[in-house]
Structure 1
Amino acid sequence: MIWLNWRQFRLHALAGAVGLLVIAAYLLYLGFDVRDAHAAYRSRCADPGTCAQAKSQFEGAYRTTLLFLAGGLGLIPVLIGAFWGAPLVARELELGTHRLVWNQSITRRRWLLGRIAFVGLAALVFAGSASMLLTWAASPYDRVAADRFGTIVFGARHIAPIGYAFLSFVLGTVVGLLVRRTLPAMAITGVVFLIVQFAVPNLIRPHYMPPETTALPMTAQNINQAKNLGSITGAPAIGGLQVPGAPDAWVSEISPLRTADGRTVPGSDFNGCLNSAPKTGAEGTFGDTAVCLSKLDLHVDFQYQPGSRYWTFQATETGLYLVVGAVLTAVALRRVRRS
């Protein structure tokens, strides 16, 4: 059984091994480069006056590269499901070779379980290795950027990709078993798993644990630390703020600007400061606008997940994908008896 699985999977395994070697070579090069740049950044932080600029330059040098790498490696589970999972049974059914296998002494269930175990283990090793390599390469940057909860970053680091790969592979196997044709099964698997990968971070992940809440007064200094003011709808919104004293926290929700009694600041007051703030010569990202808004005695309410919960979220999400994958495996084993 193992020999048969190897013969049928060896070309896929060879392609995966070559791809992993290429990924490893680049990430090893990038990892050492990031560490050299991080050491240079730390040396410049001996002078507090230049530390902020050095931090900004270090993050800017690698932000786009690491984001693209996280997005690219995030597609590995999709490819595993489409190219390893979907054809696993669909090709046998499409070509009719399943009749020969199923007429042997081995049962259908045992045959399918053996195939899932053999190829599935290879999928986990491949996805886990790529994830650990990227995690190692990006670790100095991640410590500085403090964005481990970012939607793309979270899904490309540590153990979560192992769960993604398992679910995607089993999903492809089940779809192939139901559709019985390889190309449609590959397409359906890719689309369905991409939908899952969009839905989980936005609809499910924020609810793994009840969020903490806090309020932040909108002083001119705090407003100038934001990344944006306002919105396309004209709402009195502020974005890009961090939880005081917890830069690595995941801010899941920031309220609109609110007055001292908890009401949303009137649009006329907000737009007045935004568009025609009195000239004070104030410096900072938003200058006079920040000074104008600070005089309105405003605050925002945060909902956030502390950085200390990161590993709990990683384990929870990985476990969720593994459990759903196990359920789909049971469905496949039940279905194969009637195929």
Structure 2
Amino acid sequence: MIWLTWRQFRVQAAVVFGAIVALAVVLVVTGRELADSYAAGLAACTASGGCSAFLTNFLRDHDAQYYGLAAVTMALPGILGVFWGAPLVSRELETGTHRLVWSQSITRTRWLAVKLGLVGLASMLAAGLLSLAVSWWATPLDEAGASARPRLSPVVFAARDLAPIGYVAFAFVVGVAVGMLVRRALPAMAVTLAIFVALQIAVPLWVRPSLLPPVEATVAITPENLRGIGMSSPDGTARELTIAVEESGSWILDSDTVGADGAPVGALPAWFSECDPIMLTGPPTDPAVRNCFDRLAEEGYRQHITYHPGSRYWTFQWLEVALYGAATLAAAGFAFWWLRKRLC
């Protein structure tokens, strides 16, 4: 049974693993250059006393590769679930070839277990190898962008380390289970894709933020932590400030400017419109800049932030893998139950 499953699967495996190995070679070559460039630039800007411009340019210069690789890593679990998982059993049910195997000495349970085990492990290995290569390549960019795009942010988190392995295990087994229910390959592929995409949207929006209780803090607005001023009202008054959390790499869930009474303000005072052009561009030692921040503090304006510290990154990785692992086991259990009780 293992030999038969391998013969049916080897061409698909060769294509996917060949592409991953080729990409990994490119990433190893370019990743070394990227790391050297980052180290040299960081050393130079540190010696000159300021790295803000270097980090901004470094991130901008590699945005296309960074987000392109993230997209590929995020898409692979869904692709394997759709093209490896969904047709794995549904195609045999559609053509009737499963009856030939079942008429031999192989039990239904072993038939499904071999398919799930062999192809499922190959799926996890493929996603793991790609994630490992991309995570290693992106290390300098993740360090440079720890504040602007922390590893806990949804796009980065889903394309790093352990998470893609959990995603692909779930997508593959759900694809198999859906194929057994639908019994036709193309509809099973469409349903599998819809389920996977829905969860990839729902989990980072509503589930992941609640896996651990977030941290809440009310902090002073200072030249050191102000990162942006936006959402101007029709009269030109700023309504929103972006503040950096003290711990680098934190995932900010919510950020509100509050007044002296602790309640969120609808807009900052009118005089602030004269300050915002210089607050982001002027040096912190500039008296005009300092006066603006001092006046905000005197009038009681602060920033209330709800966030997850960057130190929770690996905890969230393991929690997400456990979440998808539990869903994978549930889908596998359903598939075996359906095979024994309802499938003929």
Asked if the contact 2:73/2:164 (under 8 Å) is kept, the reply is no
Which residue identity does 2:26 align to in structure 1? Answer: Y
Cα distance change of structure 1 residues 98 and 290 upon mapping to structure 2, 3 Å threshold: farther
Query: TM-score, length-normalised on structure 1?
Result: 0.90
Asked if the contact 2:27/2:137 (under 8 Å) is kept, the reply is yes
SS of the residue 1:297 aligns to: coil
1:227-274 CA distance string (max 9 Å, x none): 3422689993323x2212x1222212212x11111122254xx26246
Deviation at 1:164, TM superposition (A): 0.4
Aligned residue number for residue 22 of structure 2: 22
User: What is the CA–CA distance in structure 1 between the aligned matches of 2:103 and 2:127, rounded to whole Å?
Assistant: 34
The equivalent position to 2:245 in structure 1, one of 243, 246, 258, is 243
Gaps of 5+ in 2: 283-287
Cα distance change of structure 1 residues 230 and 108 upon mapping to structure 2, 3 Å threshold: same
Deviation at 1:20, TM superposition (A): 1.0
Asked if the contact 1:70/1:152 (under 8 Å) is kept, the reply is yes
Cα distance change of structure 1 residues 49 and 95 upon mapping to structure 2, 3 Å threshold: same
User: What is the CA–CA distance in structure 2 between the aligned matches of 1:222 and 1:297, rounded to whole Å?
Assistant: 18
Deviation at 1:118, TM superposition (A): 0.5
Asked if the contact 2:116/2:173 (under 8 Å) is kept, the reply is yes
User: What is the CA–CA distance in structure 2 between the aligned matches of 1:118 and 1:265, rounded to whole Å?
Assistant: 57
Asked if the contact 1:218/1:299 (under 8 Å) is kept, the reply is yes
Cα distance change of structure 1 residues 162 and 231 upon mapping to structure 2, 3 Å threshold: farther
SS of the residue 1:106 aligns to: coil
Deviation at 1:24, TM superposition (A): 0.9
Asked if the contact 1:44/1:54 (under 8 Å) is kept, the reply is no
Aligned residue number for residue 171 of structure 1: 174
Which residue identity does 1:153 align to in structure 2? Answer: V
Please state if 1:182 is matched with 2:185. yes
Deviation at 1:31, TM superposition (A): 0.9
SS of the residue 2:17 aligns to: helix
Identity, % of aligned pairs?
Answer: 38
Alignment of 1:111-130 (within 5 A): 111-130=111-130
Which residue identity does 2:98 align to in structure 1? Answer: H
Which residue identity does 1:28 align to in structure 2? Answer: V
Alignment of 1:116-155 (within 5 A): 116-146=116-146, 147-155=150-158
User: What is the CA–CA distance in structure 2 between the aligned matches of 1:285 and 1:71, rounded to whole Å?
Assistant: 33
Aligned residue number for residue 252 of structure 1: 253
Asked if the contact 1:93/1:181 (under 8 Å) is kept, the reply is yes
Aligned CA RMSD, in angstroms, stands at 2.4
Cα distance change of structure 1 residues 21 and 44 upon mapping to structure 2, 3 Å threshold: same
Alignment of 1:223-302 (within 5 A): 225-230=226-231, 236-239=239-242, 241-244=243-246, 246-255=247-256, 257-267=257-267, 270=268, 272-273=270-271, 276-277=273-274, 282=278, 284-285=280-281, 293=296, 296-302=299-305
SS of the residue 2:261 aligns to: coil
User: What is the CA–CA distance in structure 1 between the aligned matches of 2:207 and 2:232, rounded to whole Å?
Assistant: 26
Gaps of 5+ in 1: none
1:84-143 CA distance string (max 9 Å, x none): 000000000111101111112211111101100000000010000000000111112212
Deviation at 1:312, TM superposition (A): 0.6
User: What is the CA–CA distance in structure 2 between the aligned matches of 1:58 and 1:323, rounded to whole Å?
Assistant: 40
Which residue identity does 2:274 align to in structure 1? Answer: A
Between 230-239 and 85-94, the greater mean CA deviation after superposition: 230-239
Asked if the contact 1:218/1:297 (under 8 Å) is kept, the reply is no
Between 33-42 and 90-99, the greater mean CA deviation after superposition: 33-42
User: What is the CA–CA distance in structure 2 between the aligned matches of 1:134 and 1:63, rounded to whole Å?
Assistant: 14
Cα distance change of structure 1 residues 83 and 282 upon mapping to structure 2, 3 Å threshold: closer
Cα distance change of structure 1 residues 231 and 252 upon mapping to structure 2, 3 Å threshold: farther
Aligned residue number for residue 330 of structure 2: 327
Asked if the contact 1:213/1:302 (under 8 Å) is kept, the reply is yes
Between 166-175 and 294-303, the greater mean CA deviation after superposition: 294-303
Which residue identity does 1:135 align to in structure 2? Answer: S
SS of the residue 1:204 aligns to: helix
User: What is the CA–CA distance in structure 1 between the aligned matches of 2:219 and 2:296, rounded to whole Å?
Assistant: 14
Aligned residue number for residue 78 of structure 1: 78
Aligned residue number for residue 64 of structure 1: 64
Which residue identity does 2:245 align to in structure 1? Answer: V
Aligned length: 330
User: Which of structure 1's runs of 4+ aligned residues deviate more than 6 A?
Assistant: 231-235, 286-289
Query: TM-score, length-normalised on structure 2?
Result: 0.89
